[in-house]
Structure 1
Amino acid sequence: MIRTQSIYLIALITAVCVMSDSMLYIVLPVYWPSFGLTNLWQVGVLLSINRFVRLPLNPLAGWLHAKFGLRRCLLAAVCISVATTLSYGLLRGFWLLAAARCLWGIAWAVLRLGGYLAVLEASGPDNRGRLMGSYNGLWGLGGLVGMLAGGIGTDYWGVQPAMLAIGALTLVGLLIAARYLPQAQGTGTAQSDMPPARERRRARPPWLNAQAVLTLLSGLVIASVFFGILPSTLTGIIEERPFQLSLFGVALGAASLSGILQGLRAGWSPFLSPWFGKLSDRPTGRKPWICASLIASTLLFVLLSMPSVSAWLWFGCLLGALLLNTAVTTWLDASAADCASEAPSARVPMMTSYTLVFDLGSALGPAIGYMVIDSFGVFRLYRTSGLLLFLLAIVWAVAWRAQTAKRRLSP
């Protein structure tokens, strides 16, 4: 049985594993010749190939967890993480690094699904949101440390020493995982929990009810907007604004301001995600919070698309959108776990499907976003994103009203 304390352990181990990945996003665009690369386009491929590898491999990650259990899968993923981190410091050349990035894509698919399944097993309806928020916030802290420590370490000591130092830290994480990771029970699908053969032959799986479909659709939209469009166009929309901010008398460019904002979001996530999750653990449930956050996001995206808005109000809207990013992701992750908790046979397929659509949205968001920008401009893209979020809010409002009516009719 997974205990609550084990969630924090798994989150911290995951944080150590993602440090090298986050470091690459800071270091590779600047020091790419030190990695043996010959063209700048290779940087883009290396930073994105792991995302595309995850798309077809998410079902494989689900099968592995169902077949071998949580502990063995997480240990294997951490081992791969150690190998890939060390390879970033030792290997040179595009194809070798591309192979390492593909392996990291496999490791991350297994790590993230394992974290979701661990939260699902350790939690109940009264604490699932808080634990999901704590898990997301803690492993996200590893990304922040990787960006800051990796960038500073590379500037002072060079690429290879900095990457090998993070590799050594990841190896320590592997030793801790091997010693303290628990063995989860019930991750897979027991034969007694399987539906009858006639039900398994149906076109729609029994766990894929209306709430699960809404959660999966929302995961696709939220990932496209908040993890695809917003981070990839943040620098561009800041550049479109006719104002300039300064810090301690130093003018901040669009890229600097974008980096500071992304760092702020990563910094507050470990502290605010558990609090947001705890809010949704109340008897009212998660639907009103998701609905309200989508309506607020709609308003903020519309304001961000208006050049006439004052500079400080516009900047506040930008901070608000990043804050809602943290909140709605926590609530949606917990909602997916709620759907998966309805039956033991639903755990792996539901969470696997959720991670798949989330990765798909994260990959499609930038591509579709820049197609819209090329034809209509960045402000039209943000208005369209706001409309999409508003339509999604209407669906959640209908679901919330149906849930409220059902509770009133219940004896």
Structure 2
Amino acid sequence: MSDAIIPIHAIKGRGTATRIAHRFEKDVRSAWDDGWGTLEEDAAQVAAGEAPRLETTVTMETARSAIVGNDSPDIFFDYSINPYRGCEHGCVYCYARPTHSYLNLSPGLDFETKIIAKRNIAEVLRADLRKRSYVPRLLNIGSGTDCYQPAERELRLTRSIIELLQEVRHPFSLITKSSGVERDLDLLAPLAADKLAAAYVTITTLDGELARKLEPRAAAPHRRLRTIRTLAEHGVPVGVSVAPQIPFVNEDMEHVLEAAWEAGARSAFYTVIRLPWELAPIFKEWLELHYPQRAARIMARIQEMRGGKDYDSDFASRMKGYGLWAELIKQRFEKACNRIGFNRQRIELDLSQFRPPGAEGQGSLF
């Protein structure tokens, strides 16, 4: 695979500009300025709409398992389900980007343009839930990549998962940046009434211009607030994720929390930016494009929260960091939540209602 460099200023609607080589590649190739202005010509063609635009492709995959267990003490759920690999939202900070390396694809442009859909996810999930060894625990949909990204409109894989969980009365939560979740209110509302469903919406910033840079194909901040309001009005317990916190970039945490509360969210959480593996150079490139004068300052604060490194995978600190700057973010969050009223009552889901699915083709006698 080549490390073909796309001129970053010529990319519209994408989070990154390069197909950065992944960590398992043996051969790396890069575009090179040959002195004839070739790179500049390519950039001008893309910017003028004369060159082919990058298209998103969706490839079907036959999954062998659906549920991923979690034993990380810093995550609130025990199981997760992700119907898609890669995410067209193109969030430049996405910690899931490096997972595309396992597919021999780039965590850069490939992550947001080459989407893998698990066509049989509901069938495999049914088999998982039918196992005698299965014990119902807190389950989350979309913790890795967004379960309501654009491909979901036609493929409806997330909806098929929810339909199965409704059938077997298994509680779950989901997290998204997309207004597409509103499509499934016919399922979510009655499940929520029985304490079987909850939703979380991520709002990184209320600044629309910044959001277009950070999350180029995700719903606009004001649209996510409307989604929170719609979910709450239909009785779905809804929380807000003000993540990730990036020093000197998205500095409006308190305003996001106030707006989310006004819209109907009653729980909140945050994380600080994580830059594992290939994500570090991707994010640094983004900083040099959008914030060249303070890129070094931003990275210095991020590294300060990681013991001088770009990333620290220690369970005790990977979500929130440590040190003076991490403590400042924590204090800001806690004071805002206390003042506004967040997290005074936990979202409780009822695990006791779960009933394993019957054998395939077996109908109910009742």
Greater helix content: 1
Question: Higher strand proportion, which one?
Answer: 2
TM over 0.5: no
TM-score normalized by the length of structure 1: 0.25
TM-score (norm 2): 0.27
